[in-house]
Structure 1
């Protein structure tokens, strides 16, 4: 599988662990949940991925969302088709309406290929007229007519098409550019904050507080004639009209008749006093034809998760220091190491962009992990930002005992290099495969180390975004070091980003739908990690990436937990994997303290863990600083890298 990310070469195993397509036996439980049989991990759903920025003429393109006129029959066809799709049906109704408007028609002559197997897809389609056929490796698979979404994975990330689609008759399809889809999601998020900014009651709140409130907004649709709120009843929610209009009426004293007070349209709001307390509604609000969509903020979760308006007014958001630019000299008392003084002991791992060697300083005899990346390949995939992110994040984590140290960076005409602390105990995924699953106390120790690393990153305003056993290394004492920071990003303590990165089986719902994400994605992935450590598989695993994404959107409550996972562990996973990011344990009022104080961690002494005073339950004995027995043989033969001298790596 073609990958455009950096992480494969960070693997310390020296081989492709997941070399075969996964297989899964699925059944439906009596409660409607799905239950999975033995699952062999799948390279296609375990490989880290990212979406590259789209460029025209070498510059990142600005995307404009245009509305393309179409008749009602076509609009209804597109809308109904989207609502039947397992992924797209999870979008809000107004988002679907905007997508319907943004799709444009394209005609295809008979035998014209619309999608070619193996190419990177940038467009999603809805079949409109005519007949289409699916071909795989040139062989006919099936045919379909109007009313089917195809190519939709293109709106999630850059993935080669797994089949070809050809028009078997003269045909018409409705087309959506994936850049337009992403822009629609961005605008919807920005609009929610803008709506809140216009509410007088909230005018003194910071942009950060409004962004947190926006994450709690749910979308509700009301048919014409529905009474959204009724005069005299106790209010428990605040409403912003995002589409349509409503009529406001009040009772006429001494009469059963109601007097119309006015009409509110999109952008208006009502019921804001419900955020302050149990106020009775002062008027009745009724949806007007053809219906109205509202953004709704319920008082109970607003109070519980964010402390209400007063809590947000008094909340302070810590400032984060700038990320360091250059490695520190004499790290841990070591003299500066020169690249030419290093000799290779062996190869720890490799990937599409280069490899990781165990090297030894000829003078001090100290050993290091030396990662080298082909500059030409990095530039050709436009991944310079990811490389710099990794450098800056690792430098910022120099004082974290649960992250490998970065000692030096180098460059020459072909490669850039990272000189790092070696972790000769191997990686957690290899150990997990050997044992099939971990006992509670082992999983708890591993997770505790990860929690400390994530907390350190979040306090620096950094979101990690690629948590999985492959990226967890063991040092000589059996402690966990969280590695591979190519996908980490500085977004601040309350920021949001739309960069599409991660590993499919660990995607959070907001990543699948491209709605923007913040540090809450790391709490979701923490829940997925705990499940995998305890059961040897992830909760949403499936052979096909699209099926994985569909199951993620179905939610953790549809997952059947195996009997050997304790009730406390189940509770923790479910609290971490909440569909709404603001409801996840760790993102709420007390932050990571809520995770540490969960009952599953009762036996873990956190202070002792930070001091490394706990004996690890997974110590893997290392005889010397050149012992590579936990790394499988790897063929270091590779094509010579091309020169790259544009100067983008000046700061390495």
Structure 2
């Protein structure tokens, strides 16, 4: 970690007040704020200089120490920033494009921090918590790293004033404490004689302390056709890294979804590892609740993944068509996701990108997970610190860079249940910067038509502390399956495909060439593949 930057009392006070009045940063604890104050660096700008420019990527946040700055968007002036204002804070979370230009009106001094430093501070705090719990005591020595991690996620930091009673003799005990700072007295009444023991911070010993083979050339695009009109290839979806087209084989007429990703785009976004990892995961997966990868190829311009074609289309499209799902449909869709999660988590794979857009319906109406661009392998008990996912579905610990594990998937499951039943996620805004504070506040507002079982499930899945979330406690995903909201679900029959899917009525009985279950999108980027090299063996 970088050397601390000295600041006088007034500078420190200004920075602390600026952090405390910011919607996002105000949720940092005292120690994190202190570490930020110590490592913010001063930078000066002359009048007319751009601090940040609209449309460019940034990795720093700023606090105004002196002077005035003008905020503009598309050459329209929005507001003026003055001493104590904070701006650019989204950039310390993830690599995003600036939504406005900030220009110095006067001589300006700013305090700034880069994303890597902020993440280092958050990561160090999380690791310090683990170290604190890893004490040489009889009780904790028997715990493995996974169990210690669960304890950390379940703990809350509380503060007591001098002479406050923490534990009263004779009262029922269901809580244990670890002293992080300060000292306490243990007072025991023995035959009307009071004896006391001091418990201190760690210095004195013996005292409680903190601690069939497919070839690319055999595949042809399915052209959009309505009546006598025949147009461009049918596009099933367009994402951040490529396009998914409907293709068929020359000989036996089977349909596939072909995901085509530009190599140039992959390299420009430094996503080589992500794309290869997605291919490797999908190659290994054999689950009826996850889309199947048949083959993968590459040529000089593109990488192609030949996937199972889900004729029913996206859950997101169906949801927008009807507004919100009836409870039986929501239960079925969620149950399919639970089975996909059970398979992935057992193999040590976090999904991390659950949302209706990534759920597809097959011909029977069963739901399948697609798009593994954010998936990650993780040893149970470990944590990862990458910032990824869809803002509305992110767990609090991801936003706060505290380190996350499989519990983050259960948070997003709760958000999915809410969106399926309501039609929109519980924490939403047109601006990501406004979504994150809502998630951290964690206030769930349920509409009057939502059943008590659904409310209970969502509340338990969306608990702020990962260790307390349904699915991440002692019995794991079994607790999710046994929740009363799923009382009508026969899990064994679901796994073997014997449950009649209520979603089947959402699937239109139309010609594939009209893309009736998909949002049609014309492709102006023609694809004439070069001689392609197969990336992996085809599945039979």
The answer to whether TM tops 0.5 is yes
Seen in structure 2, the aligned counterparts of structure 1 residues 204 and 259 have a Cα distance that, compared at 3 Å, is: closer
- Secondary structure of the 2:319 match is helix
1:602 to 2:539 alignment: no
Residue in structure 1 matched with residue 242 of structure 2 by the alignment: 354
How many residues end up aligned between the 2 structures? 520
Residue in structure 2 matched with residue 275 of structure 1 by the alignment: none
1:639-650 correspondence to structure 2 within 5 Å: none
Give the deviation of 1:98 after TM superposition.
0.9
Residue in structure 1 matched with residue 388 of structure 2 by the alignment: 501
1:161 to 2:38 alignment: no
1:320-399 correspondence to structure 2 within 5 Å: 335-345=212-222, 346-398=234-286
Distance 1:72 1:265 in 2: 30
Distance 2:508 2:197 in 1: 79
Residue in structure 1 matched with residue 502 of structure 2 by the alignment: 617
1:209 to 2:147 alignment: yes
Seen in structure 2, the aligned counterparts of structure 1 residues 257 and 444 have a Cα distance that, compared at 3 Å, is: closer
2:156 to 218, 230, 253: 218
1:624-635 correspondence to structure 2 within 5 Å: 628-635=515-522
| Greater shift in the superposed pair: 209-218 or 84-93 | 209-218
Give the deviation of 1:133 after TM superposition.
2.4
Show CA shifts across 1:352-389 (max 9, x none).
53321222222332221111111111011110121122
- Secondary structure of the 2:517 match is coil
Unaligned residue ranges in structure 2 (runs of 5+): 223-233
Residue in structure 2 matched with residue 237 of structure 1 by the alignment: 176
Residue in structure 2 matched with residue 469 of structure 1 by the alignment: 356
- Secondary structure of the 1:169 match is coil
| Greater shift in the superposed pair: 166-175 or 574-583 | 166-175
| Greater shift in the superposed pair: 194-203 or 605-614 | 194-203
Distance 2:72 2:528 in 1: 36
| Greater shift in the superposed pair: 194-203 or 487-496 | 194-203
Is the contact between residue 65 and residue 184 of structure 1 (CA under 8 Å) also seen in structure 2?
no
Give the deviation of 1:107 after TM superposition.
2.0
TM-score by length of structure 2 reads 0.89
Residue in structure 2 matched with residue 144 of structure 1 by the alignment: 81
Residue in structure 1 matched with residue 477 of structure 2 by the alignment: 592
Give the deviation of 1:233 after TM superposition.
7.6
Is the contact between residue 463 and residue 469 of structure 2 (CA under 8 Å) also seen in structure 1?
yes
Residue in structure 2 matched with residue 69 of structure 1 by the alignment: 6
Is the contact between residue 528 and residue 538 of structure 1 (CA under 8 Å) also seen in structure 2?
yes
Residue in structure 2 matched with residue 81 of structure 1 by the alignment: 18
Is the contact between residue 407 and residue 421 of structure 1 (CA under 8 Å) also seen in structure 2?
yes
Is the contact between residue 116 and residue 163 of structure 1 (CA under 8 Å) also seen in structure 2?
yes
Residue in structure 2 matched with residue 107 of structure 1 by the alignment: 44
Compare relative contact order (CA 8 Å, sep 6+) and give the higher one, 1 or 2: 1
1:396-415 correspondence to structure 2 within 5 Å: 396-398=284-286, 400-415=287-302
- Secondary structure of the 2:502 match is coil
Distance 1:496 1:123 in 2: 25
1:223-302 correspondence to structure 2 within 5 Å: 225=162, 229=166, 236-241=175-180, 245-246=182-183, 263-264=200-201
- Secondary structure of the 1:219 match is coil
Seen in structure 2, the aligned counterparts of structure 1 residues 167 and 246 have a Cα distance that, compared at 3 Å, is: farther
Give the deviation of 1:626 after TM superposition.
6.2
Show CA shifts across 1:267-304 (max 9, x none).
999768xxxxxxxxxxxxxxxxxxxxx89xxxxxxxxx
- Secondary structure of the 2:389 match is strand
Distance 2:456 2:482 in 1: 13
Is the contact between residue 444 and residue 601 of structure 1 (CA under 8 Å) also seen in structure 2?
yes
- Secondary structure of the 2:261 match is strand
- Secondary structure of the 2:290 match is coil
Give the deviation of 1:641 after TM superposition.
10
Residue in structure 1 matched with residue 226 of structure 2 by the alignment: none
1:25-44 correspondence to structure 2 within 5 Å: none
Is the contact between residue 478 and residue 616 of structure 1 (CA under 8 Å) also seen in structure 2?
yes
Seen in structure 2, the aligned counterparts of structure 1 residues 358 and 71 have a Cα distance that, compared at 3 Å, is: same
Unaligned residue ranges in structure 1 (runs of 5+): 1-63, 273-293, 296-334
